[in-house]
Amino acid sequence: MNKNEYLDLFFEETREHLQLLNEGLLKIEQNPADEEPINEIFRAAHTIKGMAATMGFEQITELTHKMENLLGKIRDKELNFSSDISDLLFKCVDTLEQMINNIDENKEIEIAHLINQLTNFEKADPQKENQIKEETNSLNEYENKVIIEAQKQNLNVFKCVINVSPECVMKAVRVFMVFKSLEEIGEIIKSIPNSQDLEDEKFDNQFTVYLVTNKGSNEVENIINSISEISLEKIELAGMDNEKMIPSGNLGKQETKDKSVNSTTKIHQTVRVDINKLDNLMNLVGELVINKTRLEDIIKTNDMKALTETVEQIDRITSELQNVVMNVRMVPIEQVFNRFPRMVRDLCKDLGKEIRLIMEGKETELDRTVIDEIGDPLVHLLRNAIDHGIESPDIRVRRGKEREGTLKLIARQEGKSVVIIVQDNGQGISIEKIKQKALEKGLYTAKELDQMDNNSIINLIFSAGFSTAETITDVSGRGVGLDVVKSKIQALSGSVYVESKEGEGTKFTIKLPLTLAIIQALLVKVGLEIYAIPLANIDETTVIEDSLIKNIQGQEVMVLRGKVLPLIRLSKVLDVKITQELETNELYVVVVRKGDKQVGLVVNELIGQQEIVITSLGKLLSGIPGIAGAAILGDGKVSLILDIGSLF
């Protein structure tokens, strides 16, 4: 079997099942009486085990097997679900996740302690009956029936664990002798390993047989011990269990031990696609091909009417194609949100807080690239809200609030963007403290701060100067690296702002474009060259006469509605040659925002707003400051997209 072929699938599916495990465990914690989740996670663990065994990942198989045992006991009410158990199971899930992530590196992870803990819990059950049950688990249905039958007839069913001396040269012969003498007093219904393997000496120095006999245990013991180089390790009555489980002894055989897995296996990102979407794509491509042939015919006949028609067709097909392909790239934000309940739970446990997480709009779809990037900023905001926003239960009660804090995570689509809201009903942000800090840090003067409205002041927490951990926790209990959050979201062509009322809570609103591949941009002319500026960066555009541009200490500025706006001539930054006849008295200024700073970009002409497809400039030209990529315009020309973030 070529395993690499299935590796992607394995990753995808295992992750899904791990997610199920996480969700299930959380549900049980909240409502231990509910039986559905335990069944669910039992199935999930079982599936992972099966898949891992098929792929030959022994460690994963072992760990999930143990988890399954424990879960099985909980399901059968032999063991009560406790917070210790849930902690352990969560730890196991984390470890599994790590193991799966490490598979391509062929790294081994220490799982012995987890296995031990799992086994301890399993054995912690005082009733001996259960222990026997567990061991009988390795009998199949038929064998169980035989045992029931035997017990009805008052026969004893013994499980004998037999040692063969390590010095023994011909183990198979000794085993044969054991079988022969035992069959004189009864019937062997099962052996582990099976008789074929025993004959082939495919075992270490120990094997187990299940014997049905009318003799007592002493007699059996005597018979076995009378054979040389053979000793009886353990003999016990085998019980009954209707539970059908995979015999642990068979596991080893299921694992295809293919150690030669190429360690450099690349894991490709995959997207699951609805087959209908693919069919749709295929149809559109088919239509495109037909129209191509038509075009070829038209070249010969010069039929202008047919040409117009065909071009219209192609126009329709391409825009539909674009839609479908975009659709394929869309992933529900659920993928990101799903890990949060677990994170919130863990943090609450660590910090001793009581928080109810409410998530809405999980089905909202975003482009795959955005989905991959948005996780970290959200984690950051949620952590902040839990750590600093929501007060501890006692304080909340003292302040006359509900004991349990509420943390809302809401996603929804608004036009061509997606809005994500992180809202808590905690202590909010103190405006006074932020002012104080801004003064201390020398970011603004007292006068400037007085002129700002409350909202602008609160949004100062996103500025870079505010980002060190200690200061922020002091100030407002917020903002550890919020500037990082902001820059990350801006890198995704999104925006973020915060609203807060002291004592009532804080609300972060993130706005993201639906997709990164296609953006709205303003096309401008600099000299004779055309550049695209992403609309997300633009605040406004304005016209200015050359004579109104002032000079302050070598920096060109203009006055825009009473505010001084620094100006940057794009022609200078981009080394564009401006010829005499291009120098006009009237210049256009595109006001762009980078963080909190506003800058006016001076251009020669505004062409208009257009939807553009971002294309990379390729490896060779990557990392050029100020250039985010290229776009192909309607006339086939290549236009460069400015990266406002790195332009100045």
Partner 1 sequence: MEEIQIVAFRLDNEEYGVNILNVQEIIRPTEITRVPKAPAYITGVINLRGNVIPVMNLRQRFGIQGEMQNDSNTRIIILNLQDVNIGIFVDSVSEVIRLSGEEIEEPNLVEALDDKFVQAVGKYNGRLIILLDLNQLLDVNNEKAHTLSSRSE
Q: Pull the structure tokens for residue 577.
A: 């040659």
Residue 93 within binding range of partner 1, rule CB under 8 A = no
Q: How many residues bind partner 1 (CB under 8 A)?
A: 23
Residue 640 within binding range of partner 1, rule CB under 8 A = yes
| From candidates 141, 562, 619, 634, binder to partner 1 by CB under 8 A | 619
| Active-site hit among 17, 23, 46, 134 | 46
| From candidates 79, 220, 382, 576, binder to partner 1 by CB under 8 A | 576
Q: How far is the CB of 632 from partner 1 (least distance, A)?
A: 5
Nearest one of 519, 491, 335 to 411, comparing CA atoms: 335
Residue 625 within binding range of partner 1, rule CB under 8 A = yes
Residue 630 within binding range of partner 1, rule CB under 8 A = yes
Instruction: Report the amino acid identity of residue 167.
Output: E
| Active-site hit among 17, 23, 62, 68 | 68
Decide whether 475 or 640 has the Cβ nearer to partner 1: 640
d(CA 433, CA 417): 33
Backbone angles phi, psi at 296, to 5 degrees: -60, -40
Residue 632 within binding range of partner 1, rule CB under 8 A = yes
Residue 627 within binding range of partner 1, rule CB under 8 A = yes
Residue 529 within binding range of partner 1, rule CB under 8 A = yes
Residue 88 within binding range of partner 1, rule CB under 8 A = no
Q: How far is the CB of 529 from partner 1 (least distance, A)?
A: 7
- Which helix H or strand E contains 355, and what residues bound it? strand 355-360
Decide whether 88 or 614 has the Cβ nearer to partner 1: 614
Of 63-71, 248-256, 473-481, 635-643, the segment contacting partner 1 by CB under 8 A is 635-643
268 carries an active-site annotation: no
Residue 620 within binding range of partner 1, rule CB under 8 A = yes
DSSP code per residue over 495-529 = EEEEEEETTTEEEEEEEEES-SSEEEEEEEEETTE
Residue 638 within binding range of partner 1, rule CB under 8 A = yes
384 carries an active-site annotation: yes
Decide whether 109 or 607 has the Cβ nearer to partner 1: 607
Q: Which of positions 247-266 make contact with partner 1 (CB under 8 A)?
A: none
Q: How far is the CB of 604 from partner 1 (least distance, A)?
A: 15
Instruction: Report the amino acid identity of residue 554.
Output: G
Decide whether 166 or 618 has the Cβ nearer to partner 1: 618
Q: How far is the CB of 621 from partner 1 (least distance, A)?
A: 5
Q: Pull the structure tokens for residue 67.
A: 């988890």
- Which helix H or strand E contains 570, and what residues bound it? helix 570-573
Decide whether 420 or 642 has the Cβ nearer to partner 1: 642
Contact status, residue 323 vs residue 509, Cβ threshold 8 Å: no
- With H, G, I as helix, E, B as strand and everything else as coil, classify residue 418: strand
Residue 64 within binding range of partner 1, rule CB under 8 A = no
Residue 554 within binding range of partner 1, rule CB under 8 A = no
Residue 285 within binding range of partner 1, rule CB under 8 A = no
106 carries an active-site annotation: no
Q: b/e string for 412-421 if b means 16 or more Cβ within 10 A?
A: eeeeebbbbb
DSSP state of 387: I
d(CA 378, CA 574): 36
Residue 575 within binding range of partner 1, rule CB under 8 A = yes
Q: Is 496 exposed, middle or buried (0-12, 13-18, 19+ CB in 10 A)?
A: buried
Q: Pull the structure tokens for residue 555.
A: 């920096």
| From candidates 626, 628, 644, 645, binder to partner 1 by CB under 8 A | 626
DSSP code per residue over 427-486 = ----HHHHHHHHHHTTSS-HHHHHHS-HHHHHGGGGSGGG--HHHHHHHTS--TTHHHHH
Number of other CB atoms surrounding residue 100 within 10 Å: 18
Of 164-172, 206-214, 503-511, 629-637, the segment contacting partner 1 by CB under 8 A is 629-637
Nearest one of 527, 515, 528, 532 to 633, comparing CA atoms: 532
Backbone angles phi, psi at 595, to 5 degrees: 65, -125
Decide whether 307 or 617 has the Cβ nearer to partner 1: 617
Residue 574 within binding range of partner 1, rule CB under 8 A = yes
Q: How far is the CB of 537 from partner 1 (least distance, A)?
A: 18
Annotated active-site positions, please? 46, 68, 384
**Interface residues with partner 1 (CB under 8 A)?**
529, 573-576, 615-621, 624-627, 630, 632, 636-640
